[in-house]
Structure 1
Amino acid sequence: MDTGTLIAGRYRIKRLIGRGGMGVVWLAHDENLGRDVALKTMNVDPGLTKEQRARDAERFRREAQAVARLDHAGLATVYDLGEENGTRFLVMQYVIGPPLDDRIAEEGPLSIEETASIGVQIASVLGSVHARDVVHRDLKGSNVVIRTDGVVKVLDFGVAAFLDPDTTGLTTTGERPGSLECMAPEQVRGKPVDPRTDLYALGCLLYAMLTGEPVFTHESELMLPGMIVERPPVPPGRLRAGIPSELEDLVLQLLAKDPGERPAHAGEVWRRLAVWLPERRTPEQALVPWAEVDPLRPFTHPMGPEARPVRAWAASGRNGRSGRTGATPGRHGRPSH
């Protein structure tokens, strides 16, 4: 597919964004609605039989349906699904922001508050996904994007697993089980997965945020599967001073080799991480312009204005005006008299 190609009479291809296990993701412009979108096309192996192509097409369709039926602020919205000249495509919300792995590479270990702020948002997404019998299976730093306002989006359900309550079976949208960097031991062994598989991956992300390092690393990737299955992780407190013992305990529990030893569900992880969330700040501080990604903002200024109007108000010289007098902010930004 070339830049400038028009798909379905409305989606104009602008550039390549990336490649996944099941397809290629493009930045496109929806000429009907005048907005940029992410357009994913399905890879078609020319060596596949007709039956195999039909199977992969069905998996691609199920990926779209899996994400479309989920309703969570931390997921990219599905806009459209179709086929153009034999190429199946999925149109989704285009999320602007750095991937989590890029932020860790640039910033090094993140603060405890930032780690908690990102972690609880991922846990919230996983809770919603798991409640609908979907397991992501490929949660990793490149699939977590942080917007400027601090909202975290979990992307790429290309290898998601669907737990079918009617057959107690498992169907998947892709052949590969995920990426080694956050792969759980049961995935390495080829065993069945469940929501606790995603919790292991969340543990890997928390570990990387706290230490700036992956749980396991080796100059030869061939050695990683054995390390994941057999070697205990180095406690993050040995790599970085000042990590609360309760937080370290949570991370190590998430990284347990036996799924039965991990937290029971994403809600438990959310509850235990929320202890380290930042406190709410004053309304005046919400109107101070900012340009960098701020993962704390959803908690320091919940439902606060976006960056663009804040910049406009500051440029007009009207930021910080208050219609109230005689009140001082309390502990959580509430006026105290």
Structure 2
Amino acid sequence: MGEVVGGRYELTESIGKGGMAQVWRARDLVISRDVAVKFLRSDFVNLQQLDTRERLAEHDVLRARFRREATLLRRLDHHGIPELYDQGSHQGMPYLVMRLVTGVTLHKFLAQYAPLPLTVAVAVAVQVADAMACAHTLPVVHRDLKPQNVMISDEGVIALLDFGIAKPLGIDVTQYTRHGSTLGSRGYQAPEQILEKEPTTRTDIYSFGCVCYELFAGRPPFVMDETRGLVEQHLKVDPLPPGLYAAGVPEELDDLMLRMLAKDPEQRPTVDEVLDVLSPLGPHPGDPEPQPRLRPDPTAPLRQPRDSPVERQSQAPAFPTAPDPYTDADGEWLNAHALEVLCAAAEREIHEGDPDDAVRHLAGLADRARAEWGSRRPLVRRIWELAAEGLRLAGDCGGAARFYQGIADDLIRGDGPQERADRAVLRLRVAECRLAFGEIEAAIGVVEVAGHVAAGLPMSLASQVEKVRREVDTDIAERLADPGAAQG
């Protein structure tokens, strides 16, 4: 203690130590605030079991993964994910400086208060899911969701910690895991993690399902018994509904938990679908404090007015609200001419292959345009199409998929040849975007259906569908040919 790191961070106490890292509370001497400083451990126990050459190689992997954690934290902008302030190296060991979250882990909270009242359990689950939604939109898979990596701050705000083994999804992502080295924590690993298969955002859903099961049932979905170990149960045994272990669990939560814990990733819901079920069951602004009182109280942020810092952020990309140039003189309604000019600017950005401000402004205005002008106005569809295409080219797969799906579901009228071709192309684009989330089997199904649609279309329309279908099919083939990207 008392050691100064990077010329400004004075270490005051060790507050956490895991397998690969150690976290210290520190005082930022420059701006007088407490921060968390995370060091990569040089005494990582697994390294001691390797020979010298393997130890050096593994240490390089750990350093690379540590650097990747810093990169991810810079991109993850959510109140439930501690932001990165600084990084560097001290005495040869890399470190990260992050926002300090004071409170208790969910693991300790459950040990003290379980079984939890339903609204308290939902309040925790909703806040964790909201942070997950931010990560999944990039898309990034956390890969180590467990109660020890969830912190409840003194104010009741949930923080999702430790992105040390998190991984961005994509075929060009560097692999940082040896074959035979299974990532995740025992009792919370999805079947595909145990089997060393490719992780997707649905992998996090399984781990989160295990956490939620503890929240609602007061116990894990599987426990050791005399006949079957935990691994075998996670691979082969279907869990019982949590309502069998705890009174007052609604049927919709029983159903949600079983879907989240499905062995097949494709059968699990997305994080947005999870939030759709959980949110109505949680506390609302103005609700009374739970009795008996909890310290900390995870319902507090959700019981505050809607302008409180904790709001659901997963419904739409966090783009700027409409600036004055795109509204009328009173700032009350959108200005159609200004939006047409913005569309032209977005088209130029897309044509030049560099989607930027115009595309982001359009994406931020798309929902408002549809609400004000309805779904039949051609300008609304043009805005949505440009937003979708621009976000796809910019790499925002989650945002692009939402717009493509919205066009296919709500902005296309009729069922003539042109409409069928348009829907096929849009659904192919959705599948292409979802590939970034590892949803390969679903994309294969969409490609097959698009082929059948194209076969029944006039040649000019069929060629439009076939062009996109071949692009997505090629993307699928590349991902299937690169299974090594599964671990990283």
Alignment of 1:158-237 (within 5 A): 158-164=164-170, 167=172, 171-172=175-176, 176-218=182-224, 223-237=229-243
Of structures 1 and 2, the larger Rg is shown by: 2
Question: Which residue is 1:292 aligned to?
Answer: 295
Question: Which residue is 2:439 aligned to?
Answer: none
SS at match of 1:232: coil
Specify whether residues 291 and 188 from structure 1 end up closer, same or farther in structure 2 by C-alpha distance, changes over 3 A only: closer
- Please, which moves more after superposition, 10-19 or 248-257? 10-19
Please say if 1:85 is aligned against 2:102.
Answer: no
Please say if 1:140 is aligned against 2:143.
Answer: no
Deviation at 1:10, TM superposition (A): 1.3
Question: Which residue is 2:272 aligned to?
Answer: 267
Length, aligned pairs only: 294
Instruction: Tell me if structure 2 keeps the 8 A contact 1:56–1:173.
Output: no
SS at match of 1:181: coil
Instruction: Tell me if structure 2 keeps the 8 A contact 1:74–1:151.
Output: yes
Alignment deviations for residues 161-205 of structure 1 (CA, whole Å, 9 cap, x no partner)? 2212x53x5645896501012111111111111000111111111
Select the residue among 70, 81, 84 that pairs with 1:75.
Answer: 81
User: Using the alignment, how far apart are the partners of 1:27 and 1:242 within structure 2?
Assistant: 40
More helix by share: 2
Question: Which residue is 1:18 aligned to?
Answer: 16
Instruction: Tell me if structure 1 keeps the 8 A contact 2:22–2:40.
Output: yes
SS at match of 2:197: coil
Deviation at 1:149, TM superposition (A): 2.2
Instruction: Tell me if structure 1 keeps the 8 A contact 2:2–2:12.
Output: yes
Per the normalisation by structure 2, the TM-score is: 0.57
Deviation at 1:273, TM superposition (A): 0.5
Whichever residue aligns with residue 273 of structure 1, its letter is: L
Structure 2 unaligned blocks of 5 or more: 310-488
Please say if 1:277 is aligned against 2:275.
Answer: no
Whichever residue aligns with residue 280 of structure 2, its letter is: V
User: Using the alignment, how far apart are the partners of 1:213 and 1:140 within structure 2?
Assistant: 13
Whichever residue aligns with residue 299 of structure 1, its letter is: L
Specify whether residues 209 and 27 from structure 1 end up closer, same or farther in structure 2 by C-alpha distance, changes over 3 A only: same
Deviation at 1:214, TM superposition (A): 1.3
Instruction: Tell me if structure 1 keeps the 8 A contact 2:182–2:194.
Output: no
User: Using the alignment, how far apart are the partners of 1:31 and 1:191 within structure 2?
Assistant: 45
Whichever residue aligns with residue 295 of structure 1, its letter is: P
Whichever residue aligns with residue 163 of structure 2, its letter is: F
Instruction: Tell me if structure 2 keeps the 8 A contact 1:161–1:171.
Output: no
Q: Percent identity?
A: 38
Specify whether residues 291 and 250 from structure 1 end up closer, same or farther in structure 2 by C-alpha distance, changes over 3 A only: closer
User: Using the alignment, how far apart are the partners of 2:141 and 2:177 within structure 1?
Assistant: 11
User: Using the alignment, how far apart are the partners of 1:83 and 1:279 within structure 2?
Assistant: 45
User: Using the alignment, how far apart are the partners of 1:194 and 1:69 within structure 2?
Assistant: 19
User: Using the alignment, how far apart are the partners of 1:304 and 1:51 within structure 2?
Assistant: 47
SS at match of 2:63: helix
SS at match of 1:27: strand
Instruction: Tell me if structure 2 keeps the 8 A contact 1:159–1:173.
Output: no
Whichever residue aligns with residue 301 of structure 1, its letter is: Q
SS at match of 2:183: coil
Deviation at 1:233, TM superposition (A): 1.3
Question: Which residue is 1:43 aligned to?
Answer: 41
Question: Which residue is 2:3 aligned to?
Answer: 5
Instruction: Tell me if structure 1 keeps the 8 A contact 2:223–2:230.
Output: yes
Alignment deviations for residues 305-335 of structure 1 (CA, whole Å, 9 cap, x no partner)? 9xxxxxxxxxxxxxxxxxxxxxxxxxxxxxx
Instruction: Tell me if structure 2 keeps the 8 A contact 1:16–1:25.
Output: yes
Question: Which residue is 2:464 aligned to?
Answer: none
Question: Which residue is 2:163 aligned to?
Answer: 157
Structure 1 unaligned blocks of 5 or more: 306-337
More strand by share: 1
